[in-house]
């Protein structure tokens, strides 16, 4: 796995969390700009998914097992969009808090991804 990509995704996830946390603090729902932010973070996880699969296809092995690695790649890809769609239905600050929580969870997943690849 590209360390730089994992780091960038983790940092972007935390920034998204802080941004949506700020919106929640100001009692605002998620807005168009937040959704663009979520799209950027999701795009990063998608690139990560592709890069990860390509590396597996080239015969590289994650230290802690291929199945766990792919499961975490899929999980980190689904994490933020799932919360984003839920926040569409909840037009209050709680939608923002949910997206913020998804950013924190994604950052944790990135740390785990790093461990799984390196062992």
Partner 1 sequence: MTSGRAETTVTDQEPEQKPGGTRLIGGPGLLLVWLYGVMVVGAVSRSVYQIATEFDRAPLAYSLSAIAGVVYGFITYTLVRGGETARRAALVCCAAELAGVLTVGTWTLVDPSAFPDATVWSDYGMGYLFIPVLLPLTALYWLRKARPA
Q: Given the rule CB under 8 A, which residues bind partner 1? A: 67-68, 71, 75, 79, 82-83, 86-87, 89-90, 92, 94-95, 97-98, 101-102, 105, 108
> Whole-number minimum distance, CB 60 to partner 1, in Å?
20
Residue 31 to residue 41: CA distance in whole angstroms = 16
> Whole-number minimum distance, CB 104 to partner 1, in Å?
8
Helices 32-57 and 3-25 meet at what angle, rounded to 10?
Answer: 160
> Whole-number minimum distance, CB 110 to partner 1, in Å?
14
Q: Are 95 and 30 in contact (CB under 8 A)?
A: yes
Judged on CB neighbours under 10 Å (0-12, 13-18, 19+), 110 is buried
Nearer to partner 1, 4 or 89 (CB): 89
Residue 47 CB: number of other CB atoms within 10 A?
Answer: 15
Nearer to partner 1, 54 or 66 (CB): 66
> Whole-number minimum distance, CB 4 to partner 1, in Å?
25
Nearer to partner 1, 7 or 92 (CB): 92
The candidate with the shortest Cα–Cα distance to 82, out of 20, 40, 38, is 38
Nearer to partner 1, 97 or 113 (CB): 97
């Amino acid at each position: 796995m590209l360390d730089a990509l994992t780091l960038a995704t983790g940092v972007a996830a935390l920034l998204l969390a802080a941004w949506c946390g700020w919106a929640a603090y100001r009692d605002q729902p998620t807005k168009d700009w937040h959704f663009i932010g979520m799209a950027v973070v999701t795009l990063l996880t998608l690139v990560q998914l592709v890069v990860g699969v390509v590396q597996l296809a080239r015969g590289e092995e994650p230290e802690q097992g291929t199945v766990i690695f792919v499961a975490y790649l899929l999980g980190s890809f689904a994490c933020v969009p799932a919360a984003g769609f839920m926040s569409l239905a909840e037009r209050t600050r709680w939608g923002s808090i949910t997206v913020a929580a998804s950013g924190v969870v994604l950052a944790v997943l990135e740390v785990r991804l790093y461990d799984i690849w390196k062992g």
